[in-house]
Amino acid sequence: MKPEDTAILIVDDEAAVRESLCKWFQLDGYRVDTAADAVEALKKMQEQPWDIVFLDIKMPGMDGLELQRRIKQIDKGVVTIMITAFASVDTSIQALKEGAFDYVVKPIDPDDMSHLIRNAIDHRRLVTENLRLRRQIEEISSPDKIIGESQALRQVMERVAAVAETDSTVMIRGESGTGKELVARAIHSMSNRRYSPIITINCGAYTEGLLESELFGHEKGAFTGALYQRRGRLEMADKGTVFLDEIGNIGEKMQMDLLRVIETRQFTRLGGDKLLNVDFRIICATNKDLEKAVRDGTFREDLYYRLNVFSIVLPPLRERSSDIPLIAQHFMQKFAQSMNKNITEFSPEALEMLVKYEWPGNVRELRNVVERAMVTAKGRRIEADDLSFPFSSSSSDFFGDDSLEEVERKHIRNILERTNGNVAQAAQILKISRLTLYNKIEKYQLKKKEP
Amino acid sequence: MDYVYIVPVGSIRDDFWVEPLEHAVMRTFGLKTRYRRFDLDLARAYDARRGQYDSAEILRQLIAALPPDGCRVLGVADVDLFIPILTFVFGEAQLNGAGSVASLHRLHNEYYGLPRDKHLMLERLLKEALHELGHTFGLIHCHDPRCVLRSSTYVEDIDQKSAEFCEACREKVRAGVAACRRQARSAAGKTNRGNAVRSYDVPPIV
């Protein structure tokens, strides 16, 4: 990095200190400016970005500590260095605790000053790089957004914001396709755990044995086929969040294991005896009536209360129809980009159809409808004819004169679409075994094409 | 108006170092030199609390006393120099200006408890003088470890670099000197026409 790429601001009420420091850095080629007090410094902070700010601790009006707090509010990545007289070392330590990179007791040895500025520049570079990478990760980890302006969604987002910064376990309720995972990700990304991973497990997609291995990991030789030691998802989520989707689908033994882990935050890998301590937050989701499951005795009451500390209920799309145009527009733009199509709007008729439809499959279904429409649309907009709704009111004659096999093929395809390709869930809805469903997928060539 | 004035500051004896310094300045910058003693009030630069001399004040006095035929002034002091934020400086100069000052105080081996070495001290003085004069021609610190414009915070740093500018800095010095000469010619022309009072642009002292 060239010296002229580094901007240094010197804030000191003593003109001689301000000027001598300024001249010293100018000779090294840095971009330097000075401010005589906090007001001038804050104005300069607003005008342009600074990499390093030297701050006198004792200044009339606002002192260096308060100024540092205000400066960090404007730019949390800026590197601050406090200038102090020997008498105020305690204050300097306070400044360090509040995020100052270092402090100089004046007068400082020229060599120490050279080292200090080099270290500060390195630190600034790392901070900038770190912030850039974090932004990148945030963008990658949140490819979809929660969209809408309806009152119902606003209430949900208020609850998301309220619980995000706590470590409470959250239970997200809502119909299939309402965006439970998106809400879980939103809570994680707004929490203090956002720079650690969020690990998602669809509990409905695994048999009990497999789910156990997925969650807790296993040691080599723990069971037939366990050729290597494997870390479980809970371990992977250390310092982060575990999102347990379809929590209502876990069996009795897993309910007991999970309860123990939640209470102790300790577990062992399958086949292992070493107790592992892991710091994670649990967010779970279900579309099942868990209260009924508790009453029926299929879901442990103590686990239910452990998981249901804070509850967020997502409204179905039909209850927030004012959001439909916004969401549809969002998906249109997204697919237009990925499909490289110049489609920019819905016809008024198409939009009306979207708003009036019941949306049994919620946002996920809306997404699929828009995606299909994008494929068939010819012009620059999506017309009513481009829309097809698998669960529309006219579905009584949906299959027309199709053969029984064709009806079966279409029905399986629709269910797979509804479950977003989740075979276990689809098999459950169709009330057939997963093996049977796999055979039918094979037979009807319903395998999802690779993107 | 293109002389470099070399001025002793304090009780420094004008002996062995003057001629080699004049020679080095002429050879490096292609400018003629004049050795003069100025009427300076050193007491104004003295800080009793620190027992050191404020180099900015010395520079101000040197620049103010620079005769009309001088384009640069180089003060050579024997007192310990400081700027308010630092414990000491070997010298100070105006970036793109007329004034510079270098001190022998911390260039003596005796200062570090070592045996006297007159030759080494002279070598250090020449490097510091060329370094500070380089700043007056608009040059900032150079990263080439051999270049005389390399920043020095310890006397060992001075010993490690050469008394020469690196190729890139030499080019900048040439350009700076040429600009200085153009300015001198232009000022002389104006004076001949008798329509201008000599004035100095005084950039910040560095």
Q: Please indicate if any CB of chain B lies within 8 Å of the CB of A21.
A: yes
Q: How far apart are CA A297 and CA A294, in angstroms?
A: 5
Size of interface A-B (CB pairs under 8 A): 68
pLDDT higher for B105 or A451?
A: B105
Q: How far apart are CA B57 and CA B161, in angstroms?
A: 29
Q: How far is B123 from chain A (nearest CA, A)?
A: 21
Burial label for A233, CB within 10 Å (0-12, 13-18, 19+), is buried
- The answer to whether the bond into A316 is cis (omega within 30° of 0) is no
Supply angle C-alpha A28, A32, A34, rounded to 5. Answer: 140
Q: Please indicate if any CB of chain B lies within 8 Å of the CB of A86.
A: no
pLDDT at residue B191, rounded to an integer = 52
Residue A90 region, left (φ>0) first, then alpha (ψ -120 to 50), else beta? alpha
Choose, out of A20, A56, A115, the residue to mutate when testing the contact with B (most B CBs < 10 Å): A20
Q: Please indicate if any CB of chain B lies within 8 Å of the CB of A350.
A: no
pLDDT at residue A143, rounded to an integer = 55
Contact state of A27 with B141 under an 8 Å Cβ cutoff: yes
Q: How far is A229 from chain B (nearest CA, A)?
A: 52
pLDDT at residue A451, rounded to an integer = 41
Q: Which residues of B have a catalytic role annotated? A: 132
Indicate the range of A49-53, A84-88, B18-22, B34-38 predicted with least confidence: A84-88
Average pLDDT in the B172-199 region?
A: 68
Strand ranges inside A181-317, DSSP E = 198-202, 217-218, 230-231, 241-245, 266-267, 276-277, 281-286, 310-313
Q: Which residues pair with B34 in a beta bridge?
A: B5
Residues of chain A under the 70 pLDDT cut:
1, 86-88, 135-144, 224-227, 390-401, 448-451
pLDDT at residue A417, rounded to an integer = 79
Q: Please indicate if any CB of chain A lies within 8 Å of the CB of B135.
A: yes
pLDDT at residue B182, rounded to an integer = 83
* Tokens describing residue A435: 């093996």
* Tokens describing residue B133: 């004069």
Q: Please indicate if any CB of chain A lies within 8 Å of the CB of B194.
A: no
Q: Which residue type occupies A11? A: V
Q: How far apart are CA A111 and CA B162, in angstroms?
A: 20
Query: Could you tell me if the ipTM is greater than 0.95?
Result: no
pLDDT at residue A395, rounded to an integer = 42
Contact state of B85 with A24 under an 8 Å Cβ cutoff: yes
Residue of B nearest to A54 (CA): B85
Neighbours of A142 (CB within 10 A): 14
Res B194 pLDDT > 50 = no
List CB contacts of A113: < 8 A, sequence separation 6 or more.
A24, A104, B85, B86, B153
pLDDT at residue B204, rounded to an integer = 40
Supply angle C-alpha B64, B68, B72, rounded to 5. Answer: 65
Average pLDDT in the B30-43 region?
A: 94
Angle of the A208-216 helix axis to the A252-264 helix axis, nearest 10:
20
pLDDT at residue B190, rounded to an integer = 60
**Could you tell me if B160 and B184 are in contact, meaning their C-beta atoms sit under 8 angstroms apart?**
no
